[in-house]
């Protein structure tokens, strides 16, 4: 070995970090050594890379998940986290292309650990999901856990937050240590509740101290687990929080293309019946999230099933008010669809708010 690499100093530093129990720092230091070894000692660099790649299964095998004890609040004795394994997700989330690529990347990294370690890199350890309610943040976290075949551990915010000074920080540390002890995906939902800006004068010192705790935990988060924090209010997060995550994924309300794809999937076997209405629904429901679209479609399908009527009839009753308030172009388009379906001029006029004379002229 090339003595210029200061082997002895490296060994001392590794021993110091290991004895201090700082496994994440040990891994980071080893990556530096691998880069420095470079072409001089390729065999040794390869061995170290393989050791790092195997570290997750060696440190906390998945089979030990069942034996790990879920932390509880000392006073209430309620569990501080919920865990789920296996994570069963019926279908993949419909996402913007860049979000899908980033999530796929996280999954692929776990299959290429040796190659990453050989480059002095580790896998993604932490993600921040930001976006309005109902756009797929929690669903995507579940999907990731399912793809990685990892337990999903979710912080129970209601139990963790304590009125006793110092208890909230202690509870959160317990959950974080628990998530570190197994190969898992930890979801910190409603993250803004525990990671608010430290200049918020309305918060007590306890919540401000929480931010410091969380910053340290994110910095030290092991590659054995994946930490996902999700928030509907990114503007409330402490600025230092954003820099600590390996990646930030911004979720938006679905685009027109995604809305149409989502609606087609949600209507299932009935999709053919409402095919002509999809462009109109896509336009009328432009401000709706994925969860809003799901609720609307499921209500219409349930109504049609229980009343024994055509889903299009239910849909027309559901969107009638919106149609009458929509743009002239949308109302004309709806009138044309209804006319071709055999609806009377009177019924069309009631539904879209266009006079019967105008409807007749349009047909002519």
Q: Say which DSSP state 76 is in.
A: T
* Predicted confidence (pLDDT) per residue in 89-125, tens digit: 888 898 999 999 999 999 999 999 888 888 888 899 9
- Looking at domain 64-250, which CATH architecture does it have? 3-Layer(aba) Sandwich (3.40)
d(CA 348, CA 328): 14
Quick one: CA dihedral 324, 328, 330, 333, positive or negative?
Answer: positive
Report CA Rg, the chain: 27
Mean pLDDT of 178-202: 82
Total-model pTM: 0.77
Residue corresponding to tokens 């100093």: 9
Q: What residue ranges of the chain are covered by domains with CATH 3.40.50.300?
A: 64-250
* Predicted confidence (pLDDT) per residue in 220-249, tens digit: 898 889 999 999 999 989 888 999 999 999
User: Is-cis flag, bond preceding 86, omega within 30?
Assistant: yes
Mean pLDDT of 176-198: 87
d(CA 226, CA 234): 20
The listed range with the strongest mean pLDDT (140-144, 161-165, 176-180) is 140-144
């Amino acid at each position: 070995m090339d003595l210029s690499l200061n082997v002895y100093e490296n060994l001392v530093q590794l021993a110091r970090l290991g004895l201090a129990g700082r496994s994440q720092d040990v891994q980071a230091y080893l990556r530096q050594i691998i880069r420095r070894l470079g072409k001089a000692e390729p065999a040794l660099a390869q061995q170290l890379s393989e050791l790092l790649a195997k570290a997750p299964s060696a440190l906390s095998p998945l089979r030990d998940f069942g034996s790990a004890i879920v932390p509880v609040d000392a006073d209430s004795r309620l569990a501080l986290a919920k865990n789920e394994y296996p994570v069963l997700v019926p279908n993949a989330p419909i996402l913007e292309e860049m979000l899908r690529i980033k999530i796929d990347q996280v999954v692929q990294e776990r299959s290429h650990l040796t190659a990453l370690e050989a480059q002095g890199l580790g896998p993604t350890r932490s993600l921040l999901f930001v976006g309005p309610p109902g756009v797929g943040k929690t669903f995507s976290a579940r999907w990731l856990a399912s793809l990685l075949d990892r337990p999903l551990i979710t912080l129970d915010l209601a139990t963790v937050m304590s009125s006793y000074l110092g208890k909230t920080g202690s509870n959160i540390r317990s959950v974080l240590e628990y998530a570190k002890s197994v190969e898992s995906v930890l979801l910190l939902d409603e993250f803004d509740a525990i990671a608010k800006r430290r200049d918020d004068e309305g918060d007590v010192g306890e919540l401000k101290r929480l931010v410091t705790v969380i910053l340290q935990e994110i910095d030290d988060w092991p590659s054995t687990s994946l930490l996902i924090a999700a928030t509907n209010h990114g503007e409330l997060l402490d600025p230092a929080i954003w820099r600590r995550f390996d990646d930030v994924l911004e979720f938006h309300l679905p685009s027109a293309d995604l809305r149409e794809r989502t609606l087609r999937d949600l209507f299932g076997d009935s999709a053919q019946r409402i095919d002509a209405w999809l462009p109109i629904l896509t336009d009328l429901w432009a401000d709706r999230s994925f969860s809003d679209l799901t609720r609307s479609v499921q209500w219409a399908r349930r109504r049609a099933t229980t009343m024994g009527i055509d889903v299009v009839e239910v849909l027309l009753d559901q969107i009638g008010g919106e149609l009458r308030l929509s743009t002239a172009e949308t109302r004309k388009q709806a009138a044309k669809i209804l006319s071709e379906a055999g609806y009377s001029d009177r019924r069309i006029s009631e539904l879209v708010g266009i006079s019967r004379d105008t409807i007749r002229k349009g047909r002519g």
